[in-house]
Amino acid sequence: MWSSKYLPTVEHEAGDKYLYYPVPYKGLPTTPSPGAADASSYVDAFIHSIPKPAFPPDEVYPLVTDILRATRPLLDTDHDWILPNIALLEGQLLSYETLIDRLCTVIEELMGYRHAIQIVSQRFSSILAPIRRLPSDVLRSVFQETQPRQSRRLMDGWPIIKFKQDPLTLGQVCGSWRDIVLSSPELWSHINIMFPILRGNNPSPCTFRPVLKTILSLSSQLALDIQFRSNGDTSSGEAIEAFSLLLEERHRWKSVSLKLPLDLLEQLRASSGKLPCLESLTLMAPRLLANHSGTVPPADVSNVFTDAPSLRKVKLHNFIGLGSFAFPCQITHLATSFTAVHNLHTLSLLKDLHLEERHDGDIDFLPHITFPEVRRLSLSSPKLLRHLCLPSLEDLTFDNCGTIVTDAHVDVAAAILTDFIRSSRCSLMSLTTMTSIVYAPNFIQETLPMLESLTSLEFQIDNNLQDIFYHTLMSPILLPNLQHLAMRLPPPEIWGKPLLALDTLSTLLDLRRPHLRSVRFDCPIISGVRATGILNTLEPLRQLGVDLS
């Protein structure tokens, strides 16, 4: 049936109206009849025309068998009938081999025809594929949910650019998809760029600047999510040019993660302009640069991010001695060190705070800072609590506190924690620590009674001190609201014996079972044999509802 949508019309007068009748295009080629339709009859005729082979007469076969089995001698007269029969058979072999070779050639041609038919058929069939009938806006939404393929091993020394989606692959499917990809700026607005450590013997295979310039133009005026990493203590010329292009678009930055050596940090400092769209910022220095004691810090970087009215989340890594930033007062999430943010005391709207010690030289002289809205705090050292007052704190984590190793340090840390809770007057609901602070006598005697509001406790097991702590937790007076308990086994290199005080632990869990909603054991990653032994040891705890993960 012809569709009037795509066909011309002929007008016929009917009263005062015109009737329009679609007519087929006269120029459309007619579909030819397939030449292979009658091929099977030709093949059948060819098969019947193949000559049957001629064999020696039947009466000579018994003679051949007798001679081969040595039941009859080979006589001279036998040559008179053997040689003609050999000539008969070998003469036919050449004819059949020639015929087979010709047939193989024909079969290869037929397979080529079949392959060509399959390709053309797939092209024609793809025209009717349901996905081609989807509106462009639907395809555009689908494209935004795609994930790029996992990259194979990348060439060392070459810059890399990736996307959150995979527009380069999607645009190669067909012309219509390519048009959609090129007209969808949201597919080009998530950019991940990495420059390796500068090496003179590894030039880039392409000029990076025009590539990035094209990508930025395809992203139109949408807000940009950018990851930019330049490894090493200096940057290549391409990295400097690429970062310069990104700085020209700083008014479109929405989420930015930057790993910058000193030359690019200076380029960032020297740039100017507002950051009206910036909501999330991650700023890192290369590890080699951060660990270099002779590094000369850049000029004043304090005002680089002050004009960012939408900024809410900030992470600074490895910036000790590389300058001190200032941030607008409305940020709510901050991960940094004390000395990397010089207006830390003004950030009164913080709700999530992560502080690292990182060898801050002047930390002992810092003032006492109050953050009235902070509810979640993560610290690399308990001594940072001396400088904080957090009346709304609910979740406290001691992260990577490897400096607490001796009993004296544990007692000091517990005393600092007790003073902090007392001065802040906060109601902690969650405490996580991978240190032995929970086993300190002053923690058990002074801190635990202050944690009536605690609902979640996570700590690392100490084989020498666990009995004391377990017996303390058996008291229903302490931690009356505890609902979630998580225990982490220590690393394999510090295992002692006995492995666990299972009897005491079982009694503790049994007594607290009515109130506990979850109990979890976290096992370190160790060899299979040793892990099996640990799990077998802990198996009795499964009956008490413990999750062994």
Same-domain status, 15 and 86: yes
The angle formed by the CA atoms of residues 520, 523 and 528, to the nearest 5 degrees, is: 135
Burial class (CB in 10 A: 0-12, 13-18, 19+), 384: buried
Q: 225 and 160: one domain?
A: yes
Could you give the percent of the chain with pLDDT greater than 90?
26
In a domain, 344, yes or no: no
- Note whether 154 and 279 are same-domain residues: yes
Q: Are residues 66 and 179 in the same domain?
A: no
* Cβ neighbourhood burial of 104 (10 Å; 0-12, 13-18, 19+): exposed
Query: How far apart, in whole angstroms, are the C-alpha atoms of residue 470 and residue 197?
Result: 51
Boundary (domain end) residue, out of 286, 304, 328: 328
Q: What is the DSSP string of 363-392?
A: GGGPPPEE-TT--EEEES-GGGGGGEE-TT
Does any domain span residue 482?
Answer: no
Q: Which region among 62-66, 283-287, 371-375, 415-419 has the lowest average model confidence (pLDDT)?
A: 283-287
Segment 101-130 mean pLDDT:
88
List the one residue out of 312, 454, 433 whose CA is nearest residue 373: 312
**What's the total number of domains in the chain?**
2
Higher per-residue pLDDT: 316 or 468: 316
> CB of 331 within 8 A of CB of 299?
no
Domain boundary among 68, 96, 127: 127
**Position 414 in a domain:** no
**Closest C-alpha among 415, 399, 418 to residue 407:** 415
154 plus 77 within the same structural domain: no
CA angle 155, 159, 162 (to 5 degrees): 95
Q: Please tell me whether residues 199 and 122 are part of one structural domain.
A: no
User: Does one domain contain both 204 and 318?
Assistant: yes
Among candidate residues 328, 361, 381, the one where a domain is terminated: 328
Based on the fold, state whether residues 106 and 224 are members of the same structural domain: no
Same domain, 290 and 153: yes
CA 159 to CA 196: how far, in whole Å? Answer: 6
CA distance 386 to 421: 11
End-to-end Cα spacing for the chain: 65
Q: Please tell me whether residues 226 and 265 are part of one structural domain.
A: yes
- If you average pLDDT over residues 3-14, what whole number do you get? 42
Question: What are the φ/ψ torsions at residue 478 (nearest 5 degrees)?
Answer: -80, 140
Q: How confident is the model at residue 175 (pLDDT cuts 50, 70, 90)?
A: confident
In a domain, residue 536? The reply is no
C-alpha to C-alpha distance for 290 and 284, rounded to whole angstroms: 9
The lowest-confidence range among 232-241, 310-319, 397-406, 512-521 is 397-406
CA distance 218 to 186: 9
* Model pLDDT, residue 142: 78
E-assigned strand segments in 390-549: 395-398, 430-433, 456-460, 484-488, 518-522, 546-548
Q: Do residues 401 and 381 touch, judged by C-beta distance below 8 A?
A: yes
Expressed as residue numbers, the domain containing 13 is: 9-25+48-127
| 428 occurs within a structural domain | no
**Is there a domain that residue 268 lies in?**
yes
DSSP H or E run through 192: strand 190-195
> Given this model, what pLDDT does residue 533 score?
63
CA-closest candidate to residue 385, choices 412, 407, 348:
412
Long-range CB contacts (< 8 A, 24+ apart) of 199-202? 199/157, 201/157, 202/156, 202/157, 202/158
What integer best gives the mean pLDDT of the chain? 79
Q: Which of 110, 92, 90, 96 is nearest to 40 (CA)?
A: 110
Q: What is the pLDDT, as a whole number, of residue 153?
A: 47
Asked whether residue 169 falls in the same domain as residue 313, the answer is yes
Asked if residue 505 is part of any domain, the answer here is no
Q: Which of 314-323, 448-457, 492-501 has the lowest mean pLDDT?
A: 492-501
**537, pLDDT greater than 80:** no
Are 174 and 261 found together in one domain?
A: yes
Write the pLDDT tens digit of every residue in 23-36: 454 556 667 777 66
Nearest to 184, CA basis, from 238, 145, 129, 210 = 145
- Asked if residue 228 lies in contact with residue 246, where contact means CB atoms within 8 angstroms, the answer is yes
Could you tell me if 256 and 223 are in contact, meaning their C-beta atoms sit under 8 angstroms apart? no
Q: Is residue 293 part of a domain?
A: yes
